[in-house]
Amino acid sequence: MVEEFKPSPKLKLIYWLYSLPYFISMAIVCIVVSVFNVLVGLILAIACIIVPLIIIAIWIPRFYESVIFRIEDDHVYARFGVWWKKEKRVPYNLVSEVRLRQGPLQRKLRLVNIDVFTPATGTLRPEITLFQLPQDLGSEKISVLRRKVGILSSRERKVIEEEILEELRTIKRILEEKLS
């Protein structure tokens, strides 16, 4: 069964928020330069604020539309990119760890990232990241991923261990009955 999903529409907002420090600092620079030379300040504002603002205004919605994540039967998949398309596919048998990550802005917007690690990349950098997911969807998807790769929660592990123990007791009882 293939589960296809996209990041939260809040991805657009958080990317605008990420770009805000750049635009604020460039506005301050342009204002300071304009005090000394209005023409240079205007040219700088066009080159460093207006042009990047137009590019980002085009790029962010297109980037959001390009993102597709899938949790398939045998691998996790991500495709994204506006100018350079990236397509990543990681088989579950290569996954060593699955982590949920959330930064300060993401906490405010209730967004999460799911990082999927393989031994090839080590634990420093994830092989694939399912980014800017709504918090509830992220919690659901990380549980699905962990189950598929065989990483169980302590509660799930305990239930399985108890089932195995009960099965062993049944086998022991049957063997004792046959031997006596």
For 162-179, how does the pLDDT look when each residue is reduced to its tens digit (9 = 90+)? 889 999 999 999 998 888
Contact criterion met (CB below 8 Å) for 98 and 146: yes
Confidence (pLDDT) at 148? 86
For 67-104, how does the pLDDT look when each residue is reduced to its tens digit (9 = 90+)? 999 999 899 999 999 999 999 999 998 888 899 999 99
Confidence (pLDDT) at 138? 94
Which one, of 31, 11, 32, 24, lies nearest residue 53 by Cα? 24
For 28-65, how does the pLDDT look when each residue is reduced to its tens digit (9 = 90+)? 999 999 999 999 989 999 999 999 999 999 999 999 99
Contact criterion met (CB below 8 Å) for 130 and 141: yes
For 95-137, how does the pLDDT look when each residue is reduced to its tens digit (9 = 90+)? 888 999 999 999 999 999 999 998 876 668 899 999 999 999 9
Q: What is the DSSP string of 89-134?
A: EEEGGG--EEEEE--HHHHHHTEEEEEEE-TTTTTTS-SEEEEEEE
Query: What is the distance between the terminal CA atoms of the chain, rounded to a whole angstrom?
Result: 49
Q: Is the pLDDT of residue 3 over 80?
A: no
Query: What one-letter code names the amino acid at 63?
Result: F
Cα–Cα distance for residue pair 94/122, rounded to 1 Å: 12
Cα–Cα distance for residue pair 95/17, rounded to 1 Å: 32
Domain range list for the chain: 4-149
Cα–Cα distance for residue pair 180/175, rounded to 1 Å: 9
For residues 6-18, average pLDDT: 96
**CATH classification for the domain delimited by 4-149, as one of 2.60.120, 2.40.50, 3.30.1490, 2.30.29:** 2.30.29
The dihedral through the CA atoms of 79, 69, 92, 95 has a sign that is positive
**Which of 12-16, 93-97, 141-145, 156-160 shows the highest mean pLDDT?**
12-16
